[in-house]
Amino acid sequence: MPARNVKGNVQAQDKILYVANKLGLSSLKYMQATTRVIYDQSTTAATQHTLFEGAAARSFPLTNLGANGNQFQVDEALLVEKIAFFIPDAADGENFTTNANRSYKFDLIIGNKTVMKDVVVEGGGQQAFYNDGSVASACLDLEGVGILIPPQVEFKIEAKCMNTDIRTAISERVGCYLFGTGVLLNFNTSI
């Protein structure tokens, strides 16, 4: 399927299909995608955090990325549809604490390109993820189009935790979820 000139709204899956077509995977449109959530956290209090970079050196429950760290394997991609932040309550990364009076200013960097710059997410926003039903995360919904992280390209988030009332950076632990549509780009067979 050749690339097409889209005149109207671009759907989230169109981005995945476009990348797959560029890689020569025209059968991807017949494959089943899955929901995928990846996360990473910095359990040392600081005013500036770089998340996902160096994740291969951390183990579960601090991250769920595994040995490949902050890049997907040759046959994986993720269309990010939500970005959520949370505050780990201790160095073990097993639970998180309230986001009261917290907001997050962040950049999303894929490869050497900053694709989201100086985005602010308010604490206790959409409340997409919970620890025990009462502690909310701060979540940003990318309104159905999303941002694609392609295979074998490093990605990271540079984030600052801020006091919502006075808009100044504060020293805090920070964690981040990327939630969206994941696909396995199978080069040998179609599913």
Contact call for residues 80 and 146 (beta carbons, < 8 A): yes
Strand ranges in the chain using DSSP code E only, listed in sequence order:
34-46, 49-51, 76-88, 96-97, 102-110, 113-122, 138-141, 147-149, 155-163, 168-169, 172-184
Angle made by CA atoms 28, 32, 34, in degrees to the nearest 5: 120
Contact call for residues 149 and 80 (beta carbons, < 8 A): yes
Give the Å distances, CA to CA, from 157 to 113, 117, 154, 178. Answer: 12, 10, 11, 10
Dihedral sign from CA coordinates of 163, 167, 170, 173: positive
Q: Report residue 175: phi and psi, to 5°.
A: -130, 160
* Closest listed residue to residue 109, CA positions, set 149, 151, 65, 68: 149
pLDDT along the chain (191 residues), means of 10: 53 68 64 81 94 91 88 84 87 77 91 92 59 61 77 93 88 91 65 44
